[in-house]
Amino acid sequence: MTFDGILVIDKPSGATSRDVVNRALRWFGRRTPIGHAGTLDPLATGVLVLCVGSATRLIEYIQQMPKTYQARIVLGATSDTDDANGTITPTLNATSPTRIQLDLALGALVGTIEQVPPAFSAAKVTGRRAYDLARQGKAFELKPRTVTIHSIDVIGFAYPELEIVVRCGKGTYIRSIARDLGRSLGCGGHIATLRRRTIGWFTETEATAIDIDSATACERLVPAWHAIQDFPPAIVSDDEATMLLEGRRITHSAALRTDADLFAVVNNAGNTVAVVKAIEGMLQPIKVLVRA
């Protein structure tokens, strides 16, 4: 039996994202392609989207979706990992910021900004993972990356603890937000708890616990097209679908639209079979979900 689809997991704290994939291989079989759409730190909990079978071809689209996190930050101390799993160092003579100071510092982190990843992260330095170098005690410098933080809302503040909800785009490190906020306020800061609540329309309310059995995992799979449900559909004939699945371009009215360049191809049976791109008035297949 083959499995295809998307499964939203509620990752527990202490497990790595790879641990979750390994668990899923026991549900769907060791030969089934499975990947996740966005790593969560071991300390973090919440939404981890698994793509199974042909749905792995759509991981990049899920990774591009906006995300929502809820984080508890402890001010007045730093961590070498920027979270509670690292070595904590209290900041000497740290004082509580005022609410105005806090809001101003958080406001400076909102928008399209340059953000340096944590030293203990999967970011690469000359081809090596930063966390490998950090664990070996080697000195290195990570380059800042452009990320987009849509909003940071304070939902609780009683120094030294701060609770926030962050809405952001791809590649944002919430640990870096805590670190940079602490530096800006002059008191230090690190993540105490972190939960990812949403990735696009995949939410914690539909997430499945990791301790399920194979039958439940299969029941909770949703169709792969959920990853591209915001792409406009291009309805094609069976012959056109076959051409696309064979890697050939087709002439189609959708290619003349000016409001989109990516489309989800739907065949006569109502199944999404491919992702195509409008090129020179034609539709070019770029992701094929079923075989010709």
Active site residues: 41
Is the separation of the CB atoms in 32 and 55 below 8 Å? no
Can you give the three-state secondary structure of 119-137, one letter per residue? CCCCCEECCEEHHHHHHCC
CB 214 within 8 A of CB 242: no
CB under 8 Å to 275, separation ≥6 — which residues? 58, 61, 228, 231, 262, 263, 264, 265, 285, 286, 287, 289
Beta 128-129 vs 88-90: how paired, if at all?
Answer: unpaired
How far from the centroid of its chain's Cα atoms is residue 28's Cα? 22
DSSP state of 51: E
Main-chain dihedrals φ then ψ at residue 129, nearest 5 degrees: -70, 135
